[in-house]
């Protein structure tokens, strides 16, 4: 897991997985990125961001630890390596609640890498990293040692459901489909939260998603120091 800088406008100081946005270049990636068919641009983006943010290359011959590369395409093309899209197991898809003006359609991938892999961060875009078990990451959040966004916490809980990496990979590879998860925003008196489709209050929160004041009320809760998820917090 990696930590976002305290100066970030969005989710400052929180612990997340490496990642980023799909760029137009990802749809036109060179053959060294393992081909380009179907949803390949998502996987290209994941492989590229992993290189740019951590220096980890998922290649057809295994995991390679290399210096951070600002231009992953150029770095891979200049090497003798071919990246391995099949190393990425697609297992989760989160979509930002509809009330927000800026929304994300985010895919999560699992990769099983060498225990000798040595990632790095640049100290600017990301300020820290740690190899950590899902259980320990969840414990640190529970103890208020780490701040973890809601989707990341839910993903960690899913990852913690199997006793070994191999068992987890087998389970996720066997998924017949990956349904989208689109939570809803709840804003109450002095608190705000994110509700999952299977949670109590999700259906009741439906009409509130069309309330034009819901984001204003969220801002009041945030500014007054109310209880909110990490996505809504700002650092002083």
Residues 110 and 157 in one domain: yes
Let me know whether 81 and 162 are in one domain.
Answer: yes
45-67 pLDDT, tens digit each = 999 999 999 999 999 999 999 99
Q: What is the pLDDT of residues 168-218, one digit of tens each?
A: 999 999 999 999 999 999 998 899 989 999 999 999 999 988 899 999 999
Residue 228, pLDDT above cutoff 90: no
Do 103 and 117 reside in the same domain of the chain?
A: yes
Q: Is 81 in contact with 59 (CB distance < 8 Å)?
A: yes
In the chain, % of residues over pLDDT 70: 96
Give CA–CA dist 232/230, Å, rounded.
5
Q: How far apart are CA 129 and CA 173, in angstroms?
A: 27
The CATH number covering residue 78 comes to 3.90.79.10
* CA 129/CA 191 separation, integer angstroms: 30
19 lies in the same domain as 136: yes
For residues 54-82, give the mean pLDDT.
Answer: 94
Please state the φ and ψ torsions of residue 108, each to the nearest 5 degrees. -110, 135
Q: Are 45 and 148 found together in one domain?
A: yes
The residue count of the chain comes to: 236
C-alpha–C-alpha distance, residues 183 and 170, integer Å: 27
* 20-41 pLDDT, tens digit each: 999 999 988 889 998 665 568 9
Helix runs in 111-164, H state only: 134-142, 150-159
Q: Say if residue 71's pLDDT is above 70.
A: yes
Burial status of residue 163 (CB atoms within 10 A of its CB: 0-12, 13-18, 19 or more): exposed
- The predicted pLDDT at position 172 comes to 97
pLDDT-wise least confident of 67-81, 194-208, 222-236:
222-236
pLDDT given at position 235: 54
* Residues 59, 174 within the same domain: yes
pLDDT-based confidence at 10, cuts 50/70/90?
A: confident
Provide the token pair at 83: 């990246």
pLDDT of residue 91: 96
Domain that holds residue 158: 2-182
Write down the pTM of the prediction. Answer: 0.89
Half-sphere exposure of 141 (CA within 13 A, CB side): 22
- Quote the number of domains for the chain: 2
The closest alpha carbon to 56, from 138, 10, 120, belongs to: 120
Which residues is 181 bridged to in the sheet?
A: 94
Per-residue pLDDT at 236: 45
């Amino acid at each position: 897991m990696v930590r976002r800088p305290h100066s970030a406008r969005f989710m400052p100081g929180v612990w997340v997985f490496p990642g980023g946005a799909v760029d137009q270049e990802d749809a036109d990636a060179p053959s060294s990125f393992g081909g380009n068919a179907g949803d390949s641009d998502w996987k290209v983006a994941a492989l590229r961001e992993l290189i740019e943010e951590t220096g980890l290359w998922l290649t057809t011959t295994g995991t390679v630890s290399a210096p951070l590369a600002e231009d992953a395409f150029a770095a891979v093309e200049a090497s003798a390596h071919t990246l391995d899209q099949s190393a990425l197991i697609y297992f989760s898809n989160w979509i930002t609640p509809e009330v927000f003006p800026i929304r994300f359609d985010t895919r999560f991938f699992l990769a099983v890498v060498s225990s000798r892999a040595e990632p790095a961060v640049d100290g600017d875009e990301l300020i820290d990293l740690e190899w950590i078990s899902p259980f320990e990451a969840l414990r640190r959040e529970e103890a208020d040692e780490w701040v973890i966004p809601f989707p990341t916490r839910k993903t960690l809980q899913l990852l913690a459901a199997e006793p070994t990496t191999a068992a987890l990979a087998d389970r996720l590879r066997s998924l017949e489909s990956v349904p989208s998860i689109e939570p809803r925003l709840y804003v109450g008196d002095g608190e705000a939260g994110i509700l999952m489709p299977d949670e109590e209050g999700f259906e009741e929160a439906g009409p509130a998603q069309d309330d034009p004041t819901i984001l204003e009320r969220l801002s009041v809760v945030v500014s007054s120091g109310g209880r909110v998820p990490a996505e809504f917090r700002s650092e002083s």
